[in-house]
Amino acid sequence: MGDYDPYPPIALAAYDGVDIFYPNAGNTGYQDLTEISGTQVWDAEFADMNNDGFLDLVVVDNSDGAFIYWGSSSGTWTTTGKTSLSTTSGRGAAIG
């Protein structure tokens, strides 16, 4: 699932969204920050949900529902093209 070692991406769930940190180009630390806004984000989990070899991001929002943000070959995620999961609220995700 990509060469993320020794610095895998980090997703921090915060009440008002998710902050994602990426490994830098030299794999010596972290760089870019992507913010995904939310209302009551409780959880964010990485998993390859569609078996394409890229990490996807599952975000659980207690107010707005749950979404899958699809990963790309660059190891990043965008808010366009997300998939909404059939739930109105949630506080956690169990993947596997």
The pLDDT of residue 4: 52
Average of pLDDT values for 18-47?
Answer: 83
Average of pLDDT values for 13-20?
Answer: 86
Residue 23 to residues 35, 40, 44, 74, Cα–Cα distance (Å) = 15, 27, 18, 11
Q: Is the pTM of this model over 0.85?
A: no
Q: Kindly state whether residue 80 falls inside one of the protein's structural domains.
A: yes
As a whole number of angstroms, the distance between CA 26 and CA 55 comes to: 20
As a whole number of angstroms, the distance between CA 94 and CA 91 comes to: 10
Q: Kindly state whether residue 1 falls inside one of the protein's structural domains.
A: no
Contact 51, 41 (CB under 8 A): no
Q: Kindly state whether residue 94 falls inside one of the protein's structural domains.
A: no
Q: Kindly state whether residue 63 falls inside one of the protein's structural domains.
A: yes
pLDDT digits (tens, 9 = 90+) for 45-75: 999 999 999 999 999 988 888 999 999 888 7
Domain count, the chain: 1
Boundaries of domain holding 30: 10-85
pLDDT digits (tens, 9 = 90+) for 73-87: 887 887 888 999 988
The pLDDT of residue 2: 52
The pLDDT of residue 5: 63
